[in-house]
Amino acid sequence: MKTKSAARTTAAFEASAARSDHTLYVLRLYVAGMTARSMQAIAAIKDICEEHLAGHYELDVIDLYQQPVLAKGDQIVATPTLLKQLPAPLRKLIGDLSDVERVLVGLDLTPKPKRARKT
């Protein structure tokens, strides 16, 4: 027989577990060399992932100069390209990744609410 306290603790834990999102995002960022544009794309997507997917993503950065065969397999025609492999559906974001809202929409994520500033 469970006590009321134990039942409440179990119910709270189960409710918390149901709310938490443990979806793993598998991403590939294709760049062409270590140019300024490539470095900006890498920094932008890392910042977005850390802020919105912390602990729930895998990010592979692929330099097409080093591994050109991968571009053919994933049908990459321009860089930088961010490929969201999981969760489905597959998505490709091509070009500037500094527009956070555009990237979040492409990843099927909702932006975190902005914190009000104290004045």
* Superfamily the domain 23-106 falls into: Glutaredoxin (3.40.30.10)
Q: What pLDDT digit, counting tens, does each position of 51-106 carry?
A: 999 999 999 999 999 999 988 888 999 999 999 999 999 999 999 899 999 999 99
Note the pLDDT of residue 4.
52
Domain range annotation of the chain: 23-106
Dist CA 103 CA 29 (whole Å)? 12
DSSP symbol at 74: T
C-alpha distances in Å from residue 106, one per residue of 47, 68, 90, 97: 16, 25, 10, 10
